[in-house]
Structures are given as C-alpha cells and as structure tokens.
Amino acid sequence: MSSVESLLAGPARRGVQMTTLDDGTEVVVKSGEPSAIAAEAAGLRWLAEPGTVGVPSVLGEAEGRMVSTRVPEARADDAAAERFGRGLAALHAAGAPAFGSPPPGGPVHAWIGEARMVNETGADWPAWYAAHRVLPYARQAFSGEDLALVERACARFGDVAGPPEPPARLHGDLWTGNVLWVGDTAWVIDPAAHGGHRETDLAMLALFGAPGLERILAAYDEAAPLANGWRDRVGLHQLFPLLVHTVLFGGGYGARALSVCERISRS
C-alpha cells in the first residue's frame, strides 16, 4: 500500500508499474524522460476537460514521474463503440488554439511513443502537417529519391486535404492499443495530444484496426459529419504514424509510407 506522495518521492524505475494506494485505489506509476511525462500528464488533463470520453485521472506528477488511476480493461461491444464515436466527435469539437498547439502547461518539445514530436503551431493545416508531422520523420527515415518523393507529396497536400477544418483537440496517438474498453465506455491512454485535424485521429484508429471501427466511424459521422471524400484521405493522415513507426521500427512501415506518397504525388 502507498500514497501518491510516496510514489512520487520513491526511487525512479523507468517504465510502468501497477500498485494500490492506501485507500484501495488502483494506480499506474509511470517513470521516464521528464519532458515525455510532462507532455503525457498535460495531455491527459486536456483530454479529460470536456468530459466526453474516459480519461485516467492524473493524481500527481513530479520530475519524470506520474501517478494516474488505473483503467481495468474489458472487451468492446457495439454500444461502447458507438458511444466512443460520439464522444470522440465531441472531444475534437472542444478544439485547440492552433494546429500544433500543445495542451496547456505541456512542453513544445514533446513525444509520440518513443519518438520526439515538436508542437510548433501553424494556421494552415496542409503546410503545418508537412512541416511538423511528415518531413521531420521522413528526413530521419529516407534520403535520395525516397525523400524527394515525400517532398513531392508534401507539395500536393493543399490540393488533396479537403476543405479547411478548425483545429481539433486530438489524442494524437490513437491506435487501438491506446483505447481501453470498460463496460459501455472507451478510455484513452498514452496521448500525444495537440491541436490537429480531426481526421488524423480517425485514420490512426484505422491503421491497426480498432474493435468496432465501422460503428465508431458511423457514430462519429452522424454526430459530426465528416467532409466528403474523407475515406480517400485516410492515407494522407496515416503518413504521420507510418513515418514515426518507420523511424522507430523500420520494417515495412517505410514502404507503406512511400506508397501513400506515390498516390498523393500522382493525384
């Protein structure tokens, strides 16, 4: 048994631990790079603010360490998927000051998983997305003709991005492993939260296949209709996570990213 204060003051053990507080509350203790922990804590608080989806409560934070409530995982059902779609639409609608804006109190130099992510702001989504979410990772992953292909695709973003959208309040790393299901509620964890395009969160959900994905998307679209042609733009919005995965893991992610860039550059 422990208190939040003792967990924050104890010896740092990089990684994630589960424990129980004196009052019986089950908690997660996460330790790591101080800027990554600060970004995650700020992101959780920002995503929880509208009260639209389940978000663990941040109980305490210190340099490089955070204590949050534990979410017990179960299985998704149809009602939970539909509720999550509606909740995610409302979360996005809560908005952000600009594309790339960090959560209040969060660092500009943040993280997505184990990769660094800079939250520089911009007013034009296609230009901002190219400059701050695609090219930084493409330049780490590629060179020569491969990098030139990504750059040609970036030059076309304004033509293929669809109608302008206001900055949405994004989770930012919304792959299926960061969505936990409890009863009729979906909870989101491990955010890389920032202001962005709402279709990016949806595209990331689709990247590895979320339980009840089509029900999530249908409920989202009913609550906050997506612009025409949004399914044709999924690849554009998946470029960001694909390139991050290319930098972190290599493998076939780079080939998938280049295939998307080829389609965009020829569109």
- The set of catalytic residues is 173
Quote the CA–CA distance of 64 and 2 in Å, as a whole number: 19
Quote the CA–CA distance of 66 and 17 in Å, as a whole number: 11
- Could you list the beta-strand ranges (E) of the chain: 15-20, 26-31, 58-62, 65-69, 109-112, 115-118, 168-170, 179-182, 185-188, 194-196
Quote the CA–CA distance of 202 and 213 in Å, as a whole number: 9
What one-character DSSP code corresponds to residue 130?
I
Largest CA distance in the chain: 60
Cross-strand partners of 18: 28
CB atoms within 10 A of CB 192: 26
